[in-house]
Amino acid sequence: MYEVELKCRADHESLRARLNDVGATRTGSRRQIDSYYNAPHRDFAETDEALRIRREEPATGESVTKLTYKGPLVEAESKTREEHETAVDDENALAGILSGLGFEAAFVVKKDRTFYELDGYTVVIDAVDGLGEFVEVERETDEEGVESIREGAIAVLETLGLDADDQIRTSYLGLLLAADGND
């Protein structure tokens, strides 16, 4: 499965108003704490891959933990990658397994996210600790659908008054590392 994603900086106040104007449906919000790991056999920063444990803390209900692998970017026009994700019962046990296999904790990214649905796409308003305000437009597809899904995501950005030419293809992790001078 591939995740096609376009990400831009965005003012959240005006973006929320625009989402309301175009009839987007708010589907939830949560705090996410992403712990990224590096592999003992290759440097994910060099291969443009990511392995993370994500803890999601919804406003109400139980926390959920997921393990995610993201492959390298597959095209120049968007932030599209192969992605595999699964739920995890015990976050501490998983961290112990990864550590035991030689994976090293690399960095933590924390963000507050509000999710909307618009024209079959997920629109995510992100407030990232240490970085500021962003919006992501995303949708999953198979390899054959990447181009058409990307074009649809561009249309959603335009509907929201944003320009796809302003998109950022660097992950929040990459942006935080660059801001820290750890790049």
Indicate which residue of 36, 116, 121, 172 is catalytic: 36
Pick the CATH number of 2-178 from 2.40.320.10, 3.30.1600.10, 3.30.590.20, 3.40.640.10: 2.40.320.10
In this predicted structure, which of 33-47, 121-135, 167-181 has the lowest mean pLDDT? 167-181
pTM for the full model? 0.92
36, pLDDT greater than 90: yes
Tokens of 102: 């030689």
Gap between the Cα atoms of 90 and 74, Å rounded: 32
Q: What is the pLDDT of residues 146-169, one digit of tens each?
A: 999 999 999 999 999 999 999 999
Instruction: Write down the pLDDT at residue 60.
Output: 86
> Whose CA is closest to 139, among 126, 129, 128, 154?
154
Gap between the Cα atoms of 35 and 53, Å rounded: 5
Gap between the Cα atoms of 93 and 144, Å rounded: 37
Scored b (16 or more CB within 10 A) or e, 4-33 reads bbbbbebebeebbebbeeeebeeeeebbbb
User: What dihedral angle (degrees, nearest 10) is formed by the CA atoms of 63, 38, 3, 66?
Assistant: -20
Within 10 angstroms of residue 115's Cβ, the number of other Cβ atoms is 16
Instruction: Write down the pLDDT at residue 182.
Output: 56
Instruction: Write down the pLDDT at residue 76.
Output: 84
For the chain, domain boundaries: 2-178
Q: Name 150's Cβ contacts closer than 8 Å, sequence gap at least 6.
A: 4, 6, 75, 77, 78, 80
Q: With the C-alpha atoms ordered 84, 50, 80, 175, is the resulting torsion angle positive or negative?
A: positive
Catalytic residue check, 36: yes
